[in-house]
Amino acid sequence: MSTTRSSATRRSPAERRAVSELRAFLEIFALCGFAIAQPVLDVFGKAPSEFVFRGAGAADIVVFGLIVTFVPALILWVIEAVVGLVNRRARRWAHTAFLAVLAGLFVLLLVKEASGLRGLLLAVLALAAGAGFGYLYLRVESTRTWLAYASIAPLLFLGLFLFSSPVSKLLGGNEAEAAQLDGIENPAPVVLVILDEFPLASLIDADGELDSELYPNFTRFTEEGTWYRNATAVTQYTGRSIPAILTGRYPQGQDDPLASDHPENLFTLLGDSYDLSVSESTTRLCPTNLCGESGTAGPTSSGGLGGLLDDARGVWRTQVGLEDSDANATSGFVDDTDVESNTAVAEAEEDQQELPNALGEAAFPQPERFEFLLDSVTNPGAHLSYLHILLPHVPYRYLPDGRLYPGPENQPGDVDNAWIDDPAPVDLARQRELLQIRYVDSLLGDLIDTMKDAGTWDDALVMITADHGSAFIPGESLRGTGLEDMPDALYPQIAWVPLFVHYPGQSGGDGSGSAEEIPPAGEISDANVEGVDLLPTIADVLGAEIPWGVDGFSMLDTDARPTDEKTFYEAKSGGGHVDARERLTFNGADYFPDVLAQGVESILPAVGDPLRSYRIGEGVDLVGMSADNVDVVDPSVSGGVTGTLDQDLLERDVDPDAGSIPVYLSGHVEGLNEPATVAVGLNGRIGGVARTFEWDGHDHFFGVMLPPEFLVAGPNDIQLFLVRDGDLILISPGS
C-alpha cells in the first residue's frame, strides 16, 4: 500500500515545473494586485465619465478590468521565465526583485494615503520595505504561504470594479423610460450646446459688453437672440453641473452622470416626441433605449480601449509618485481634431480655393463631434440636437483659425490644479485660453451659418452655455474642487458662465405660441439665471409640461427669481470621486463687479490692434517691432546671462500653412538673480515678450506665444533678448 501511495503522489518533472511556474505567477499576481490593480481600478471605478468619454461599451469595460488585473503580472512572469532560460539562479533573484519592488510600491501607496510623508523620505521608506519583504520571502516560509493565499485578492478587486463600483452601472443597461407627455404645443427644433470650462469674464470688457473684435460670432448671436449676462453654474464639476442643466434639479449627492441615476432629464422628456441627435462627452444621460448602447447617438471621442489604458498608465504613475498630485482619471479629456483636416483647410486657403459651404464640410477644421452637430441642426421640426464639447477646456492647443500648435506637456504654473503664486504663468495660460475661445467663436459662426443655409435658424430654440468656468488667479485653485472651502475670489470666474439663447421667431420665422413672452432680438438680460433654468425654459417654449419637480424656472418668467441670491453647490474631490452636497447661497450683485474687473481688458490691450492677442505682460509695445527699430545692446553687457530655447525652429523645416504650427516657444535663462523680462525675436521682428518664473527645475523659465504670420517656410531665425531698462540684450543668438 505504501508503494502505491508514494507512486500516486509522485509528480513528474513536467508537473513539478508546472506547479512551480503557477506558484511563481500567483506570487507576482498577488502583489501586482495590491500595487497596481487595486489603486488603478479604485480610481477608474469611481470615474464612469472616463469610460463614457472614451466611448467604452460593456465589453471595453470588462476587457479594461481584465488587462489591468492580469497583464502586469503576466509581463513580469514572462520576463523572469526568459531570464530562467539563461540561468535558473538568476531567475530566482529576478523573481525576488520583482516581489520586492511591488511590495515597496504597495507600502509607498499606503504611506501616501495615511500620512504626509513625501519626497526622499518616502522613497527611502519604500526601498527599505521592499528590501525587507524580499528578505522575508527568501527566509520565512510563512511569507511565501501568505502570497499564495493573497493571490485571490486581485480577483476580488476586479469583482468590486465590475459589480460594485459606480462604473458597474454602465454594465447594467443604463436605461430610462421616455416621459409620456400630453402633447407638445410648439414642436420647434431645439439645439443645446454645452461648452466646458468657460468663464464669462473671458468674453467681456470692463463695461460688461462682449468684445466684438475678438468674438464677432458671439456678438452676432446676441444681435439675433438674447444674452443672459448674469447666468451662473450651480457647481464647478462637470459630472454634477451637466445633470443639473439637463434635469432642472440641483446636484443630488454622489449620483453619477448616468441615465440610471438621472432618469428624468431632457432626453427622456422629449424622447417619445422628438428625434434625438445626441453627442455627450463625459456623461451618459441619454439612456441606451433612446440613444443606443454607447449612450450617444453621435460619434464618441477617440481613444477607445487604447485611450483608457494610456489614461490608466498616467494615473498609476501619479499614484506612485513621491509627491502629492490630484490623480484624476478625466484630466486628459480632449476633443480631437484631425490634423490632416487642418492641413487641407490651410492649403486650400493658401491656394485661394473655394472651400465647401457650411452644409457640407466646414470652412475651417473642427472636432469630429461638432461636425456631427452641424449635420443634425439641418433637420426641421421636432428634432433635438445636443452637444457637450470639451472646449475651451484645457489643454489649450487651438489658434483662432482652428489650426493646432504643440503646447507644453504640463501647463506651466499649474501644480495639482492650483496656480503658483506668480502672475507670469497665469497670464500665459489666460492668453492661450483666449486664443482657444476665439476658435470656439469661429465654430459658433459656422453653426449659425449652417442653420441659416438650411432654413432652420429662425424657428429654432438655440442655447449656448457652459458647465462652469475656470479661475486664473495666482496662488489660487483653478476650479476649487480640491479645497475644503472655495475662496470667494474664485466665484467670479468659476460661477459666471456664458448663456446665449435664440428663441423661435426671435429673428424671423413663424415663431411659437408663446411669442408674446419672448424678448426682442438683441436684448441683454441681467436677470438672475442659473443652470437649472434651461430645462424649464425649453419646456416653456415648446409648450410641454415637465412631469417631475424641478428647482429651476423658465427664463421667460422674469419675476421667477426676483432677488440676487445665487445657489451654488461646492464640489469637493477625494479618493478619486467628486461630491457636490454642500449647498451655499451668495449675493450675486456682490461678485459681479469682480467679473467685469477680470474681463479681457485685464490682460489684453484695447481694441484695434491686429497683434492684440499676442501682447501680454510687461514690454508688450515691443511685439511686432522690427529688430532694426529697437536698441539692441552688445551681449557683453549681459553680465553672464544666457538663454536656452526648448524648441529649435532654426533646424526645423517649418510649414506655416500646415494644420499644426510651432507658435508656442519656451526656454529658460541662466545667470539672473531675480525674475526678468525676455523678448523673442522671430525672423527680424519681436514676436513675443514674457516674464520669467520658477518652473520645470529652472529658476527662470518662460513661455511665449508667437504670431503665426511671423513664421516663414523652412528654418526660422529665433533670437532671445533680455529686456533691461528699455534696451534689448542679446542672450541667445539666431542663425
User: What pLDDT score was predicted for residue 16?
Assistant: 82
Count of CB atoms situated within 10 Å of the CB of 679: 23
- CB contact at 8 A, 522 and 229: no
Check whether residue 151 and residue 251 sit in a common domain. Answer: no
Residue 326 falls within a domain, yes or no? no
- Count of Cβ atoms closer than 10 Å to residue 78 Cβ: 11
- What's the CA gap between 429 and 370, in Å, rounded? 24
Report DSSP letters for 537-584, one per residue. HHHHHHT---SS--S---TT-TTSS-S-EEEEEEEEEETTEEEEEEEE
Residue range of the domain that includes 592: 190-302+352-602
Both 497 and 382 in a single domain? yes
Same domain, 260 and 357: yes
CB 131 within 8 A of CB 100: yes
Is the domain of 108 the same as that of 61?
Answer: yes
Asked if residue 325 belongs to a domain, the reply is: no
| Ranges of the chain with pLDDT below 70 | 1-9, 293-303, 325-366, 482, 508-516, 573-581, 631, 634-638, 649-651, 734-735
Separation CA 723–CA 643 (nearest Å): 12
Domain identity same for 537 and 651: no
Tens digit of pLDDT for each residue in 215-226? 999 999 999 999
Q: Is residue 710 part of a domain?
A: yes
Same domain for 558 and 693? no
224, 445 contact by CB (below 8 A): no
Supply the DSSP symbol for 640: S
3-class DSSP assignment, residue 242: helix
Tell me the CATH number at 253: 3.40.720.10
Closest CA to 598 of 464, 430, 481, 483: 430
CA–CA distances in Å: residue 382 to residues 15, 286, 291, 504:
69, 17, 16, 13
Buried-exposed string 474-504: b where 16+ CB fall within 10 A, e elsewhere: eebbbbbbbbeebeebbbbbbbbbbbbbbbb
3-state secondary structure of 189: coil
In this prediction, residue 230 carries a pLDDT of 97
Enter the C-alpha cell of residue 199: 468663464
Cell numbers standing for residue 174 = 443604463
* pLDDT tens per residue across span 596-618: 999 999 999 877 889 999 998 87
The per-residue pLDDT for 47 is: 85
Helices (H), 418-553: 423-454, 491-494, 534-542
Residues 512, 541: contact at Cβ < 8 Å?
Answer: yes
Say if residue 234 is in the same domain as residue 366. yes
Q: Is residue 179 part of a domain?
A: no
376 and 471 in a common domain: yes
User: Is 75 in the same domain as 95?
Assistant: yes
* Residue 513, pLDDT score: 38
- Alpha-carbon distance of 682 to 627, in angstroms, equals 9
Residues 206 and 210: their CA atoms lie apart, in Å, by 10
* Coil, helix or strand at residue 665: strand
Same domain, 129 and 264: no
In a domain, 321, yes or no: no
Same domain, 52 and 141: yes
Gap between the Cα atoms of 576 and 166, Å rounded: 12
**51 and 141 assigned to the same domain:** yes
pLDDT given for residue 517 in this prediction: 82
Q: H-helix or E-strand containing 313?
A: helix 304-319
* 622, 718 Cβ separation under 8 angstroms: no
d(CA 45, CA 606): 48
For strand 727-732 and strand 632-633, is the pairing parallel, antiparallel, or unpaired?
parallel
Nearest CA to 465 among 144, 157, 221? Answer: 221
On whether the CB atoms of residues 91 and 83 are closer than 8 A, the answer is: yes
**Final residue of a structural domain among 602, 632, 650:** 602
Pairing of the two strands 275-279 and 693-695? unpaired
Query: What is the sign, positive or negative, of the torsion defined by CA atoms of 8, 14, 16, 18?
Result: negative
Q: What backbone phi and psi angles, to 5 degrees, belong to 353?
A: -80, 150
3-state helix, strand, coil in the chain (%, to 5): 40, 20, 40
pLDDT of residue 544: 95
What's the number of CA atoms in the CB half-sphere (13 Å) around residue 31? 28
Element (H, E) at 678: strand 677-682
Q: Does the residue 176 lie in any domain?
A: no
CA–centroid distance for 128 within its chain: 38
Residue 336 is predicted with a pLDDT of 54
**Whole-angstrom distance, CA of residue 285 vs CA of residue 261:** 9
How buried is residue 375: exposed, middle or buried, by Cβ count under 10 Å (0-12/13-18/19+)?
A: middle
- Written as one letter, the residue type at 659 is G
Tell me, yes or no, whether 181 lies in a domain: no
pLDDT of amino acid 617: 80
pLDDT of residue 634: 67
Establish if 248 belongs to a structural domain. yes
- CATH number for the domain harbouring residue 645: 2.60.40
Number of domains in the chain: 3
Radius of gyration of the chain (CA): 29
